[in-house]
Chains A and B, each alone.
Chain A
Amino acid sequence: MNPLKVAVLGSGNIGTDLLMKIIRSPYLECSLFIGRHLNSPGMNKASSLGIKISDLSIEAIENNPSCCDLVFDATSALDHKKHWPVLKKLKKKVIDMTPSGIGEMCVPALNIEHCLNFDNVNMITCGGQSSIPLTYVIGKTQCDVEYIEVVSTIASRSAGPATRINLDEYIGTTEKGIKMFSGCSNVKAILTLSPAQPPIDMQTTVFAKIKKPDIAKLKEEASSMVRKIQTYVPGYQLVIPPMLESDRVVMMVKVQGLGDYLPKYAGNMDIINCAAIAMAVEYSKKYCNITNGVVS
């Protein structure tokens, strides 16, 4: 059986880090790495790894539709809106890394099987991937959840120009995801960039206002959710288990990255990429029928 052939569209940090993870997976094969400039750091990295590259952007796939079965779109929300009609016509599966809001929102720990039914899945945001599973646990175990708030802090150096200019979209998309998976309609997302040196790991705090919180139940379910996430994001750890502080339910996680293309502190980029890889592997298992692959 052959691995699923995938193309990466977008040769920035996210795209290049995805490539490293694809290369490691026996379920996936990167058949084309696509950017706009042959000399960008990402393209150079891909070339050095012996990966076929193209600087023709979406045209690279239009020109040779059989090059891949699945496309990771790691460009921008605006670009994805243009790419999707093309990819749809070519019948490609798409994993969208941008906050375009087009595809089915995917958090592997929560709805990976459901997402297999969709041709375009959206990986929400980094803060969404780290917080939404915990907000889901709140919705599942507690009655009368009045309000949920998630606060992520990421190292300034791990936030590229696209993230910085799109903070509003980050907030909107993250809030939409929290509402959908937690069932709570009153939510807020906050993002802070930390300039600390050495850079800090990504940290996400989930707060909630709950009429009669059942902390014991929340602790149990949160721990098992964290273990589930760790199966595809090894650096995800619960640093403050659910507790009550001044009538606020609080829990905190830290995300350390794998350090593939980006430094380990960039847990924010790592978690969204790990989630995307988990989704792609699931497609591969379904469509390529590999059962005994070993992840090295």
Chain B
Amino acid sequence: MKKILIHDVTLRDGNHAISHKITKNQIAIYAAAADAAGVPIVEVGHGNGLGASSLQVGESAINDETMLRIAKENLPHSKLAIHVIPGFATIEKDLIRAIDIGVDVVRVASHCTETDITQRHINYVRDRGKEAYGALMMSHMASKETLVDECQKMESYGAEGVIIFDSAGAYLPNQVTDRITELKNNLNIPVGFHAHNNLGLGIANSLAAAEAGASIIDGSARGFGAGAGNAQLEVLDAVLEKMGYITDINFYKLLDAADIAEKELLKEIPRIDSLSIISGISGVFSGFSKPVERISKEYNVDPRDVFFELGRRQVVAGQEDIIIDVVSKLALQKRVSNV
């Protein structure tokens, strides 16, 4: 039977859903529950990862160091992971300290066509003797051939695996199959998949990835994550086991962890609201949902128009400031057409 490595992003991607305001207590409670369930890897941090607390994306309620220390204390067995985007986080300001605190697994992420910016960070993580993976965000924006080129670069930098992110929840299952198959055929390292549920395909796409040979799958408790959320971890685990995969997670305790997450972490259960569907269809980063909703309301423009315009401009993660530009232009057009 084939083994799947489950990577739990509840305490990182879920942070998007609460505008990066996760508390010490929430991290402690969920980390301990995930650890007890035998979840192999638990990722923690600001929604955009290490060093990303900012006016651009949103300020964290507690700093990176505190988040990582609390998580580490509550993960006696599971590995502690972080998401690191060069351009936000630097080795000197952020990564050195994170590894000093005890991070075991580092995912160095970039937009899917820009992976050469991850080289130094991946090198550094390997030099420190920690596990380094490459993460390709917004992977629906590149062809499978381009993804292969980019993943091969990461492999050459020393990445021990690559994970393609469906950051906008835009994929259909056959597209996932196609890409994962191509990557499996051209790489010598494990391949992974990170889903978003904007089009209701979080679990279906994760299964398609596993069936095509992906051996690392991301999930989060109750789907707690940006936009419509991620692949719901406890469902994912159940379905994978039913399909004959092994995850080595204690299922009852995983269900307990999900119940704890619902009670302690979630403001609302992730759902596919109208704006999430638009985000998926327009291919815009799920993390934009909250700021698009807020700023559109301030200027009285239709957030759906904002998403489609952002999609037309091909914005990527980290370009939240463009929301203000788009909204103010749409507001101006509206005033002009009303005159």
Contact = CB atoms under 8 A, between A and B. Distances in A.
Interface residues of B, number: 32
Given A161-B116, A167-B117, A252-B321, A195 B87 contact: no
Contact of A195 (B54, B55, B111): B111
What are the nearest 4 A-B pairs in CB distance?
A: A196-B314, A207-B55, A205-B321, A192-B318
Interface of B: 54-56, 86-88, 90-93, 111, 113-114, 116-117, 119-120, 141, 294-295, 298, 313-316, 318-319, 321-322, 324-325, 328
A37 interface: no
A49 interface: no
Nearest to A250: B324
A215 interface: no
Given A240-B328, A248-B55, A192 B294 contact: no
B54 A188 contact: yes
B111 to A, nearest CB: 6
B86 A195 contact: no
B114 A190 contact: no
A165 B90 contact: no
Contacts of A205: 56, 321, 324
A200 B316 contact: no
A153 B325 CA distance: 13
Contact of A245 (B54, B120, B314, B324): B324
A141 interface: no
A165 B90 CA distance: 12
B74 to A, nearest CB: 29
Interface in A129-164: 147, 149, 151, 153, 156, 161, 164
A246 interface: yes
A193 B114 contact: yes
A171 B117 CA distance: 13
Contacts of B298: 245-246
Contacts, number: 96
A196 B55 contact: no
7 contacts: A168-B92, A193-B114, A193-B117, A195-B113, A239-B325, A240-B325, A252-B321
A246 B93 CA distance: 27
Given A151-B318, A153-B319, A165-B116, 4 more contacts: A164-B114, A195-B141, A203-B322, A246-B298
A250 B55 CA distance: 9
A172 interface: yes
Given A192-B316, A245-B295, A245-B324, A209 B113 contact: no
Nearest to A239: B325
A39 interface: no
A156 to B, nearest CB: 6
A196 B116 contact: no
Interface residues of A, number: 34
Nearest to B90: A168
A190 B116 CA distance: 17
Given A165-B119, A209-B55, A190 B313 contact: no
A193 B111 contact: yes
Nearest to B124: A168
Contact of A167 (B54, B86, B113): B86
A197 interface: yes
Nearest to B146: A195
Contacts of A161: 116
A193 B313 contact: no
A149 B54 contact: yes
Contacts of B119: 165
B325 A252 contact: yes
B207 to A, nearest CB: 29
Interface string A248-264: 10101000000000000
A194 interface: yes
A191 interface: yes
A171 B318 CA distance: 15
A194 B316 contact: yes
Q: Which among A190, A193, A203, A239 has the highest number of chain B CB atoms within 10 Å?
A: A190
Contact of B90 (A172, A200, A252): A172
Contact of A190 (B88, B92, B295): B88
A194 B319 contact: yes
Nearest to A170: B87
A149 B117 contact: no
A109 to B, nearest CB: 22
B117 A172 contact: no
Contact of A193 (B87, B90, B324): B87
Contacts of A194: 314-316, 319
Contacts of A193: 87, 111, 114, 117
Given A196-B314, A245-B324, A164 B319 contact: no
A288 B322 CA distance: 45
B318 A190 contact: yes
B314 A197 contact: yes
Contacts of A250: 321, 324
A191 B325 CA distance: 18
Nearest to B115: A164
B11 to A, nearest CB: 23
Contact of B114 (A195, A208, A239): A195
Contacts of A245: 295, 298, 324
A184 B119 CA distance: 32
